[in-house]
Chains A and B, each alone.
Chain A
């Protein structure tokens, strides 16, 4: 593991904003999760006609200047998370106005469109604000909404890589910072719960009717959730120059594809294992240096077994089983926002040394390489922790975070 850091080439996290079913902010998220509280509730309470369990965010604060029709729920989740991320930021400080925004979303404005739209789009656009509501359909709208809301002028971009999207958004933002293209990047993901995705996953028979059980031998599928997380990323030298508080260092990142099947993961998890290996190489970390993995862990039969194989491959030279948990057991699968939310949880684990267990994991998949965290919160100092994401289309992403470990910037 590296000890010498080049501040110009070191990407640090100086802000994290979160909107989750626990509420707004990291404190809510951490307090709720550390208490072992599950946010999963009966879906039909919110969406009559749908069975199963979901987790949802309550009503969102909406500034007066925000036009309710113009912004989708995914937009608004992202805007609130972004506002939370930059709360400690002096918006007049050098570089802030030139910040870029990369936001992932798989839902974007789909939450605002009704089935009747497909039968006569022209008529649907002409009534009830349909034209404006449909304008939020492109995934890029979320990044635009964040950029406009914060008044930042840099490049804006959407990332679509299914459920690995927001982890990739963070990785690509880091690349742009290393390019020197922008001084600061806001990166993350946002996805709203809506009938479109509930219906889609239901049609694929991928939903567990009960609260999900990732990595359990009796797992039956996933639960959907909603939320958003936005990171403020910059190089260490810039963070030091403005005496910013460094929450974590992004030590390594990688992206790969399975090239195996349009929806199913590669059965042996080789693509995901490669991704983890590449991220560790970038971090100059051995597999013993990774103290915790926040898993993708959806709870679907195919994902969880492939992912287990991936850990067995990536960590086969490790001396002791790698601690792994899936925090989707707390508030479901937030799709395009999942990678960023789980990265935020991974950073919290690094900062607090508290490793969250997977809830409802009673009969885990057998693996000699993995220490499935369950039951109590494990307290342990972490040098590095990894967040792993995967998605339809064979997308894989891995992010490795470490604590500051240097005294220059406030950490």
Chain B
């Protein structure tokens, strides 16, 4: 577990709710029929509706980018705007970008394989190759905003968003950056969706037009969430939350480790995040009940965020904050069944 203190001062997201700065207005979102590729019958997912990035962030040029990079640019711009940060007044060599992703630029990787399938390995299209690297979205964020600080892309099975937030806070704590843009997200592609399908992970709700069941149902999703993270002591600005400490592990006594991290703190809110697979969903809520005070409010995982399997944590957090939870200490909790857990302690205003 690590002990930091950083303020979350800006929020931006591109999700099935659309591109938004700040909190996400309450309202249901339902899975939609997939039309981006041909499916064998009805297949549903939470998809980001196409939009023109320049209509959200004037001047943004994304014509040559894949969706993940374009969304990272939009979400980071909205988060900075929401934080009221004018980068022209900031030493941009001291601004870090930390991006958490499970699959990176999967669209471009698939496009490169497609060109190999059609033309052979000797005739591949060069354009998707460097842009298909997982760090391309974070690099585009740096390039667009002129950010010359650490630029890091992390992956962690089911816990990429949590890992990104913890590592960004660590950069601030060690004086390696004065401000960090933390992002997490993935795009949904045919290859990813069909992997879930062949692996038998999809919810029945992916195959029919019925409303989603209450819980424990995995419907793939996509999107990018962004947070602006600043050292708490540096700014008087409004903060959505203060990040106090966090940790993650692959195995072990999750309840014991988290209690140790809490150090006697009693979270009044436990926000359940993590993957949407039924086992993870059940175990996260179960763990929340095990470690939480009986009076703690347990916020169940949100299917639209849980569907971004590896990188949904930040969207979970934004959705939970959008529900205006009561102030005090909150725990963002994720488990992957017996394959890992993460816990982030936050202080809500």
Contacts and interface: CB of A to CB of B under 8 A. Distances in A.
Nearest to A144: B157
A256 B135 contact: no
A196 interface: yes
A175 B96 CA distance: 15
B117 A153 contact: no
Given A121-B194, A139-B155, A179-B2, A196 B112 contact: yes
Which has the most chain A C-beta neighbours within 10 Å: B3, B101, B167? Answer: B167
Contact of A125 (B2, B133, B142, B198): B198
A98 B252 contact: yes
Interface stretch (B124-132, B222-230, B271-279): B124-132
Interface string A97-110: 01011000010001
Contacts of A199: 116, 121-122, 124
A252 B24 CA distance: 42
A126 B194 CA distance: 10
Interface of A: 49-50, 98, 100-101, 106, 110, 113-119, 121-122, 125-126, 131, 134-135, 137-141, 143-144, 147, 152-162, 165, 168, 172, 175-176, 178-181, 195-196, 198-204, 254-263, 271, 274, 391-395
B275 to A, nearest CB: 13
Contacts of B104: 138-139, 160
B133 A157 contact: no
A180 B3 contact: yes
Contact of B310 (A50, A138, A156): A138
Contact of A121 (B121, B150, B156, B191): B191
Given A175-B174, A258-B148, A140 B310 contact: yes
Interface stretch (B26-34, B231-239, B242-250, B280-288): B242-250
B155 A179 contact: no
A395 B288 CA distance: 39
B157 A394 contact: no
A271 B148 contact: yes
B191 A117 contact: yes
Contacts of B167: 157, 172, 175-176
Given A159-B153, A255-B176, A257-B147, A131 B250 contact: no
Residue from B3, B4, B163, B173 with most neighbouring chain A CB atoms (10 Å): B163
A261 B153 contact: no
A262 B136 contact: yes
Contacts of B157: 138, 140-141, 144, 156
Interface of B: 1-4, 92-93, 97, 101-104, 109-114, 116-117, 120-122, 124-126, 129-131, 133-136, 138-140, 142-143, 145-157, 160, 163, 166-167, 170-171, 173-174, 176, 190-191, 194-195, 197-199, 247-252, 310, 340
Nearest to B158: A140
Given A140-B156, A204-B126, A395 B135 contact: yes
27 contacts: A49-B120, A98-B252, A117-B191, A118-B114, A118-B117, A138-B157, A140-B155, A155-B247, A155-B248, A157-B156, A175-B170, A176-B167, A181-B2, A196-B116, A199-B124, A200-B126, A203-B124, A203-B125, A255-B150, A256-B93, A259-B92, A259-B148, A262-B143, A392-B136, A393-B139, A393-B142, A394-B151
Nearest to B167: A172
A147 B250 CA distance: 8
A263 B147 CA distance: 16
A259 B129 contact: no
Nearest to B140: A262
A171 to B, nearest CB: 8
- Among A114, A116, A158, A165, the most chain B Cβ lie within 10 Å of the Cβ of A158
A5 to B, nearest CB: 17
A259 B117 CA distance: 34
Interface centre among B4, B142, B149, B160 (most CB of A within 10 A): B142
Contacts of B138: 393
B312 to A, nearest CB: 15
Nearest to B122: A49
A118 B114 CA distance: 5
B143 A261 contact: yes
Given A138-B155, A201-B129, 5 more contacts: A118-B114, A156-B156, A165-B135, A195-B116, A393-B133
Contact of A118 (B110, B139, B199, B310): B110
Contact of A254 (B110, B126, B176, B249): B176
A101 B154 CA distance: 12
B113 A115 contact: yes
Given A110-B109, A138-B310, A178-B174, A161 B153 contact: yes
A392 B248 CA distance: 29
Nearest to B192: A121
Given A117-B113, A179-B173, A393-B138, A160 B153 contact: yes
A262 B195 contact: no
Contact of B117 (A116, A141, A179, A256): A116
B131 A262 contact: yes
Nearest to A392: B130
A78 B4 CA distance: 31
Q: Which 4 A-B pairs have the closest CB atoms?
A: A393-B139, A118-B113, A203-B126, A200-B129
A147 B249 CA distance: 11
A156 B247 CA distance: 11
Contacts of B163: 155, 157
B279 to A, nearest CB: 16
B191 to A, nearest CB: 4
A207 B135 CA distance: 22
B315 to A, nearest CB: 19
Nearest to A148: B250
Contact of B150 (A139, A180, A256): A256
B135 A204 contact: no
Contacts of A135: 195
Given A154-B250, A262-B130, A393-B139, A122 B198 contact: yes
B114 A119 contact: yes
A126 B249 contact: no
A340 to B, nearest CB: 16
Contacts of B130: 200, 204, 262-263, 392
A114 to B, nearest CB: 8
